[in-house]
Structure 1
Amino acid sequence: MRGGRHVAAVTDASFDLAAGECLALVGESGCGKSVLASALLGLLPGNAETAGSAVVDGIDVLAADERTLARTVRGRRIGLVPQSPAAHLTPVRTVRAQLEETLRALTGTRRKELAAATEAAAARAAFPPGHLDAYLHELSGGLAQRAATAMALIGDAPLLLADEPTTGLDRDLVDRTVDELRRHADDGRALLMITHDLAAAERIADRVAVMYAGRIVELADATGLFGRPGPRHPYTRGLLDALPERDFTPVPGLPPALDALPAGCAFAPRCPRTTDACGTAPFLTAGLACHHPVTPVETRHA
């Protein structure tokens, strides 16, 4: 960054994702979730640096050049439901025109079949056919989100990245949208869903990765994390306790700035379990990065 600053946007992120599986990536705003998705698609800004590997359907997308990403990865191996659909939809073309273009490019749909295929693609994301001839500025935020979701589903890519796919939707449409994304996984594809909506994650995820200050701090089966035995990381427990249907108690304090991370555990300043041991950053081991994990007994008594 300017002045020689460096921002550790994502650090040591490591996970696998199998065909037929949904992994929900959750955490507070600014923790690095969307940066991780952008890295997988080669959409980071020019001053970003990446290291390591990310193999999707046989291609290391972190090492791939722009030609490979454009022709064989984006839309074909990795589909994207963007966090900001207004930035990804073309404002001078109708939704119908953009769906038709995507169908021709990714599926080779013939002209005489385009009308029916376009309406079918829209229906998958609950986009009303009466708005297919609308332009971006004529759509509500929820409609724009559904249009972007419809485009992302067209290629039936082996991996679908859904970055906050329920933004701007009411609860019924949230459930319908995430159920459609779940069907994408049930058909034998992988789904990485980035979300703040823990209810949506609980509804469709097989596993949950919890990110804090650029690091994954807990990786667990969704059933055990949301139910028994419950979360093991104090931060994850705090997220669940903040839900209205639970304790409705916020996590105290604020996350650290990613360009000024503490030397040890980044959550230590907000954690009630902090000791001197937290001056050393914990590594993710057996799905947990914490010196003082919550025990199942504590979770039951909470």
Structure 2
Amino acid sequence: MRGDTFVSAVTDAHFDLAAGECLALVGESGCGKSVLASALLGLLPQNAETAGSALIGDVDLLTADERTLARTVRGRRVGLVPQSPAAHLTPVRTVRAQLEETLRELADVRRPRPQLRKAAEEAAERAAFPAGHLDRYPHELSGGLAQRAATALALIGDAPLLLADEPTTGLDRDLVDRTVDELRKHVGEDRALLLITHDLAAAERIADRVAVMYASRIVELADAEDFFGATGPRHPYARGLLNALPEREFTPIPGMPPELSALPGGCAFAARCTGADEACGTVPQAVAGVACHHPHRAAVLEAPHA
């Protein structure tokens, strides 16, 4: 709810994520990606409503109570690299103290003290957090350093699912690559990664599959090799995202996405797509991984004719 208005921030989001896999959830800001992440961890505002299920093992994340989420899910089954790390770091404790506390709680690293100190430094190194800043408080860190501190904390528990919500915010390209490479290392026989990002280069670098979100809905789900390769995306919005990259056509998608509080009755992308026709007056259902009435049509992304 926003005031007296009901906002459908995430609608009909269907996907699975297997151990050993990285799924990248991509899309423009405001499409609902971070709301989905918050829903999975029970971090939505109290007036928010959820429906459906999100299973990790035998726990349904959408129906679990706060006690279950706090004691058995967050950090243990699901590790979170938050979009706003400064809000998740304890302001009155140094980064080192927070790493050591997390190691004691999740990794059972208790003693001797030198071992705990070394383990904290190793945890920081995994996220490219400089050892010389470990004794600083969160307010003394730049945005990029705060992001890396949050990443280090999220990696400690080696949770079965690592949920990274815009983990490269504030980082330069070299650190982006290093950060996502480290996140990818988390993926293993019993661990998976959900990467939420608007950085398509980061997604291309490490993802096995790509889910494209637009105006609260997942409009395409595809293998990364096909999505970024010769086959390319099948949804016109997803094609537009790739075409907007500097190393590709560098052509922006015309228009603006709709407000989630005022979504159109039909296809939410129709107003921005020259491939739209009368059929697009109804909401398209996902078929073979793409929610579009004309997934094979090569839509020319120009301003629609009046």
Give the corresponding residue for 1:256.
Answer: 258
> Which segments of 5 or more consecutive residues in structure 1 lack a partner in the other structure?
none
Paired residues for 1:1-302 under 5 Å: 1=1, 4-112=4-112, 113-186=115-188, 188-294=190-296
Q: List 4+ stretches of structure 1 deviating above 2 A.
A: 1-4, 294-298
Instruction: Please report how far the alpha carbon of residue 228 of structure 1 lies from its aligned counterpart in structure 2 after TM superposition.
Output: 1.9
CA distance in 1, matches of 2:275, 2:25: 24
CA distance in 2, matches of 1:2, 1:201: 31
Q: Contact between 1:234 and 1:294, CA under 8 Å: does it hold in 2?
A: no
CA distance in 1, matches of 2:299, 2:69: 48
Q: Contact between 1:32 and 1:213, CA under 8 Å: does it hold in 2?
A: yes
Q: Per the alignment, in what secondary structure is the counterpart of residue 234 of structure 2?
A: coil
CA distance in 2, matches of 1:164, 1:225: 20
Q: Per the alignment, in what secondary structure is the counterpart of residue 120 of structure 2?
A: helix
CA distance in 2, matches of 1:25, 1:281: 21
Deviations 1:56-115 (A, max 9, x none): 122111110000000000000000000000110111110000001111111111131211
Distance 1:243 1:91, change over 3 A: same
Tell me the amino acid that sits aligned with residue 151 of structure 2: T
Q: Bigger CA drift: 233-242 or 283-292?
A: 283-292
Give me the identity figure in percent: 78
CA distance in 1, matches of 2:249, 2:190: 37
Instruction: Please report how far the alpha carbon of residue 285 of structure 1 lies from its aligned counterpart in structure 2 after TM superposition.
Output: 1.7
CA distance in 1, matches of 2:32, 2:135: 36
Q: Per the alignment, in what secondary structure is the counterpart of residue 105 of structure 1?
A: helix
CA distance in 2, matches of 1:2, 1:13: 21
Instruction: Please report how far the alpha carbon of residue 283 of structure 1 lies from its aligned counterpart in structure 2 after TM superposition.
Output: 1.0
Q: Bigger CA drift: 287-296 or 114-123?
A: 287-296
CA distance in 1, matches of 2:297, 2:185: 34
Normalised to the residue count of structure 2, the TM-score between the two structures is 0.95
Tell me the amino acid that sits aligned with residue 76 of structure 2: R
Distance 1:2 1:115, change over 3 A: closer
